[in-house]
């Protein structure tokens, strides 16, 4: 069974702090990984994609991938109250479908 | 920016009724998906569709479910005889070519409430 595991949270951080979100996956065949943000009642919105080991930065967001440890993370720098949402980690499997984790709820306190 | 559009945004239906959820994927995309999310639960894969046929379907996608691409633009999900447990948000998604890492884009979703 292909699984993506995330801590459900909530992860509470003060405004301006770094939020660190983590995810592990079970399918070693997965090569592409994605972080989506989901506001309550809304659809997933892509934040970052990462395909190679190491770090990938985009503005305030940095995704990290370690395929040996089957671990993906997302760092959000200078967190804002508007970043408060559920963050979904997803792995694309060998048949090109996304396997989602259950999401981590992030709360950024003003 | 191109987007995946879904209709209706919300539908309430009686148990046992048929429901059709409609999606217009992004125009140059070739791979289409339906996912669903029961309230408070994770986003679950239902079915993928490529080259006018189902590529893969999950255990959830039983004989009550079907998908169709009736013309060059629409992609529909039909639930033949709805059950209470079909109440969920249904997301359509599309991508140009996932084999080269293209992003999968999601529509805004269709809330289905079965009463």
B55-80 per-position pLDDT tens digit: 999 999 999 999 999 887 899 999 99
Task: Pick the residue from chain A with its C-alpha nearest to B10.
Answer: A41
Q: Is it the case that residue A34 has pLDDT exceeding 80?
A: yes
CB contact under 8 A, B44 and A43: no
Mutate to test the interface with B, among A32, A96, A101, A104 (most CBs of B within 10 A): A96
The pLDDT value given to residue A77: 98
Instruction: Give the SS3 label for residue A71.
Output: strand
Beta strands in A52-109 (DSSP E): 54-58, 61-66, 71-76, 85-92, 98-100, 104-109
The pLDDT value given to residue A48: 93
CB contact under 8 A, B44 and A95: no
Calculate the CA dihedral of residues A6, A35, A60, A62 and round it to 10 degrees: 80
Task: Pick the residue from chain B with its C-alpha nearest to A102.
Answer: B42
Residues of B within 8 A of A88 (CB-CB) are 42-43
Task: Pick the residue from chain B with its C-alpha nearest to A52.
Answer: B101
Instruction: Give the SS3 label for residue B98.
Output: helix
Phi-psi region of A45 (alpha: psi -120 to 50; beta: other; left: phi over 0): beta
- Checking B51-57 for CB contacts under 8 A at 24+ apart, the result is B55/A95, B55/A96, B55/B31, B56/A95, B56/A97
Q: How confident is the prediction for chain B on average, in pLDDT?
A: 94
Whether the bond into B111 is cis, omega within 30 of 0: no
CB contact under 8 A, B43 and A95: no
CA distance B37 to chain A (A): 10
Max Cα distance, chain A (Å): 42
CB contact under 8 A, B44 and A100: yes
Report mean pLDDT in 10-residue bins for chain B, 115 residues.
91 97 93 96 96 93 94 92 97 90 91 98
Indicate the residue of A45, A46, A102 with minimum beta-carbon distance to B42: A102
Neighbouring CB atoms inside 10 A of A55's CB total: 12
Q: How confident is the prediction for chain A on average, in pLDDT?
A: 95
């Amino acid at each position: 069974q292909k699984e993506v595991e995330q801590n459900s949270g909530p992860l509470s951080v003060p405004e301006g702090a770094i939020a660190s979100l983590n995810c592990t996956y079970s399918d070693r065949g997965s090569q592409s990984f994605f972080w989506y943000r989901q506001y309550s009642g809304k659809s997933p919105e892509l934040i970052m994609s990462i395909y190679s080991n190491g770090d990938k930065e985009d503005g305030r967001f940095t995704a990290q991938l370690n395929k040996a440890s089957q671990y993906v993370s997302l760092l959000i720098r200078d967190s804002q109250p508007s970043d408060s949402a559920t963050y979904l980690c997803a792995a694309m499997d060998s048949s090109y479908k996304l396997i989602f984790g259950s999401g981590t709820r992030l709360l950024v306190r003003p | 920016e191109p987007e995946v559009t879904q209709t209706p945004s919300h539908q309430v239906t009686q148990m046992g009724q048929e429901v059709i959820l409609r999606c217009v994927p992004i125009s140059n995309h070739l791979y289409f998906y339906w996912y669903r999310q029961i309230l408070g639960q994770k986003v679950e894969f239902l079915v993928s569709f490529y080259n006018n046929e189902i590529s893969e379907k999950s255990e959830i996608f039983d004989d009550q479910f079907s998908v169709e691409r009736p013309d060059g633009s629409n992609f529909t999900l039909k639930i033949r005889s709805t059950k209470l447990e079909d109440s969920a948000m249904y997301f359509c998604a599309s991508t140009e070519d996932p084999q080269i890492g293209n992003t999968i884009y999601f529509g805004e979703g269709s809330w289905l409430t079965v009463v």
